[in-house]
């Protein structure tokens, strides 16, 4: 009986998730067209408002109970976060007016690729060394009084044992500008003992996306803890990377080994 309930819960959530996400992308796309001609400054503000609503609705649909510590930064900001799951964007967009830097592979995903491009996510090809220069230019173009930049410097997601080494290349922009860089750490805890967070919320290794997402949808409730840290300034990107890694590591509560 429980298996049937889990499957029904997952199906209903899947339908509502795609409906809400599709409507969100359509509304943002419409705003991109309308406000670009009428009032260009409203393009990003419209997008932020719609995405904040999406994050709140999606958290409810997925059963995410989000709590926070510390103060989220206000635009313009540059923020680094740990990365353990594709749903990390939900709690971050729940609190922040910003856009993400994502790996180029996401742009080719069915629906999600089209959606994230419409929402203004910046894509980088990590296999091309020269793409870092282009991305730093895109960061300069995108950051504003209405929008910050959110970066996952680990470069990949993990199962939440520890914070992986940071890639410092995309920290060149805040280092050159001597811009304060904020930090945040996200931790998940599943209330379903048979579906621990490290395997059913975290997405890592060679896990296939859709089967993993389906199993995540079956979890009745996931506690999400978002801990915001302070700001760090350094004109050396490598030193900045080291300090930020230390800060995020201190903020992070390991998922593996905890009661999740």
pLDDT tens digits for range 104-122: 777 777 777 788 888 989 9
155 occurs within a structural domain: yes
pLDDT on residue 105 = 76
How far apart (Å, rounded) are the C-alpha atoms in residues 219 and 216? 6
pLDDT on residue 260 = 56
110 occurs within a structural domain: yes
Number of domains in the chain: 1
Q: Write the pLDDT tens digit of every residue in 142-181.
A: 999 999 999 999 988 999 999 999 999 899 999 999 999 9
259 occurs within a structural domain: no
108 occurs within a structural domain: yes
Query: Whole-model pTM?
Result: 0.92
Give the chain's residues under pLDDT 70: 257-260
Per the structure, the complete domain to which residue 6 belongs is given by 2-251
91 occurs within a structural domain: yes
User: Long-range contacts made by residues 167-171, C-beta under 8 angstroms, separation at least 24?
Assistant: 167/241, 168/237, 168/238, 168/240, 168/241, 169/132, 169/237, 170/101, 170/124, 170/132, 170/135, 170/136, 170/139, 171/80, 171/237, 171/240, 171/241, 171/244
CB 88 within 8 A of CB 81: yes
pLDDT on residue 7 = 93
34 occurs within a structural domain: yes
CA 18 to chain centre: 18
41 occurs within a structural domain: yes
pLDDT on residue 257 = 67
Q: What does R_g of the chain's alpha carbons equal in angstroms?
A: 18
Q: What is the 3-state secondary structure (H, E, C) of the chain?
A: CHHHHHHHHHHHHHHHHHHHHHHHHHHHHHHHHHHHHHCCCHHHHHHHHHHHHHHHHHHHHHCEEEEEECCCCCCCCEEEECCCCHHHHHHHHHHCCEEEEEEHHHHHCCCHHHHHHHCCCEEECCCCCCHHHHHHHHHHHHCECCEEEEECCCCCCCCCCCCCCCCCHHHHHHHHHCCCEEEEEEEEEECCCCCCHHHHCCCCCCCCHHHHHHHHHCCCCEEEEEEEEEEECCCCHHHHHHHHHHHHHHHCCCCCCCCC
State whether the Cα torsion 201-204-205-211 is positive or negative: positive
pLDDT on residue 40 = 72
How far apart (Å, rounded) are the C-alpha atoms in residues 172 and 158? 24
pLDDT on residue 135 = 87
246 occurs within a structural domain: yes
pLDDT on residue 242 = 97
**CA nearest neighbour of 75 among 37, 45, 114, 30:** 45
């Amino acid at each position: 009986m429980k298996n049937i309930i889990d499957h029904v819960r997952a199906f209903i959530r899947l339908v509502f998730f795609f409906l809400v996400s599709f409507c969100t992308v359509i509304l943002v796309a419409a705003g991109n067209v309308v406000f670009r001609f009428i009032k260009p400054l409203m393009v990003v503000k419209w997008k932020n408002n719609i995405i904040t609503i999406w994050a709140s609705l999606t958290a409810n649909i997925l059963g995410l109970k989000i709590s926070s510590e510390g103060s989220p930064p206000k635009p313009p900001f540059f923020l680094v976060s740990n990365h353990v799951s594709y749903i990390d964007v939900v709690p971050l967009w729940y609190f922040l007016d910003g856009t993400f830097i994502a790996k180029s592979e996401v742009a080719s995903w069915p629906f999600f690729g089209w959606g994230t491009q419409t929402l203004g996510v910046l894509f980088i090809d990590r296999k091309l060394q020269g793409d870092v220069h282009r991305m730093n230019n895109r960061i300069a173009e995108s950051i504003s009084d209405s929008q910050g930049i959110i970066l996952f410097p680990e470069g990949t997601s993990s199962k939440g044992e520890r914070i992986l080494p940071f890639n410092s290349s995309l920290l060149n922009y805040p280092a050159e500008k001597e811009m304060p860089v904020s930090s945040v750490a996200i931790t998940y805890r599943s209330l379903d003992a048979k579906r621990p967070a490290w395997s059913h919320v975290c997405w890592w290794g060679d896990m296939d996306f859709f089967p993993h997402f389906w199993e995540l949808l079956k979890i009745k409730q996931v506690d999400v803890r978002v801990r915001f840290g302070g700001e760090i300034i350094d004109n050396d990107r490598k030193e900045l990377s080291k300090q930020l890694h230390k800060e995020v590591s201190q903020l992070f509560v390991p998922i593996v080994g905890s009661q999740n």
